[in-house]
A and B are shown apart, each in its own frame.
Chain A
Amino acid sequence: DIQLTQSPSFLSASVGDRVTITCRASQGISTYLAWYQQKPGKAPKLLIYAASTLQSGVPSRFSGSGSGTEFTLTISSLQPEDFGTYYCQQLNNFPRTFGQGTKVDIK
């Protein structure tokens, strides 16, 4: 199974900060990677797919990059509504797997 390791597991940042979350895969997955945001009690929301394609309706302050085994999700200017937990997901192989999550808190 492909393991996805996110770092950090938790981050606290101020409004306007640039925030970067990293996701490392245990083997190459090309660009078959997605990023989700989840808020408490809600379903995950797709932000980025194919490593760098912004899902329709998602603010442009979110961006993704990477290929192979290393990927990043960047929020260019953190907004109050960006709190929540962020997950990466690989779609290269079965079983599909998710990272363990990065909880983002607004200072």
Chain B
Amino acid sequence: QVQLVESGGGVVQPGRSLRLSCVASGFTFSSYAMHWVRQAPGKGLEWVAFISYDGSNKYYAGSVKGRFTISRDDSENTLYLQMNSLRTDDTSVYYCAKEINSISWPNWGQGTLVTVSS
């Protein structure tokens, strides 16, 4: 069955960097677009970034553009989110999600918590 497992979260100081990973299994990873979504403690869902199935198209939320970079390694079935210049308001649980045909996201990881604090 489809599985998405995020890792790489932790506590980091403002201004520092962190890289999140999302390892996919149970499907042909290279055939699907992927997203990162985050959720601050007690808040709603916020879309963060998108990468197309072949990596040729990437889109970002305005709040992270220029600081975060989404990428993928199809040989490792892994999605990444490189987060630079972290701010306290980046504190959230970060989820990866698989997209199907631009109309549904049926599979999500369990999330990884990023805490930005001095």
Q: Which of A45, A53, A97 contacts B47 (CB 8 A)?
A: A97
B61 pairs with A95, CB closer than 8 A:
yes
Q: Which one, B7-15, B81-89, B105-113, is touching chain A?
A: B105-113
Residues of B within 8 A of A42 (CB): 110
A1 to B47, CA, bound (A): 12
Residues of A within 8 A of B111 (CB): 43
A44, A53, A87, A97 pick with most chain B CB within 10 angstroms: A44
B108 pairs with A49, CB closer than 8 A:
no
A56 to B50, CA, bound (A): 24
A64 CB–B CB distance under 8 Å: no
A43 pairs with B104, CB closer than 8 A:
no
A residues 42-66 near B (Cβ < 8 Å) are 42-46, 49-50, 53, 55-56
* Minimum distance in angstroms from A49 CB to a CB of chain B: 4
A32 to B103, CA, bound (A): 6
B106 pairs with A55, CB closer than 8 A:
yes
Residues of A within 8 A of B109 (CB): 43
A98 pairs with B46, CB closer than 8 A:
yes
B26 CB–A CB distance under 8 Å: no
Residue interface bits B95-118, CB-to-A below 8 A is 1, else 0: 100000011111011110000000
* Minimum distance in angstroms from B45 CB to a CB of chain A: 4
B104 pairs with A50, CB closer than 8 A:
yes
The verdict on A87 contacting B61 (CB below 8 Å), with A43-B110, A49-B104 known, is no
B104 pairs with A46, CB closer than 8 A:
yes
B59 pairs with A50, CB closer than 8 A:
no
The verdict on A95 contacting B62 (CB below 8 Å), with A44-B108, A101-B44 known, is yes
* Minimum distance in angstroms from A52 CB to a CB of chain B: 12
CB nearest to A42 among chain B residues: B110
B106 pairs with A44, CB closer than 8 A:
no
Residues of B within 8 A of A106 (CB): none
**A-B residue pairs, 4 tightest by C-beta:** A49-B104, A43-B108, A96-B47, A94-B59
A-B CB contact pairs (8 Å), 10 listed: A32-B102, A43-B110, A50-B103, A55-B106, A87-B44, A87-B45, A91-B104, A95-B60, A98-B47, A99-B44
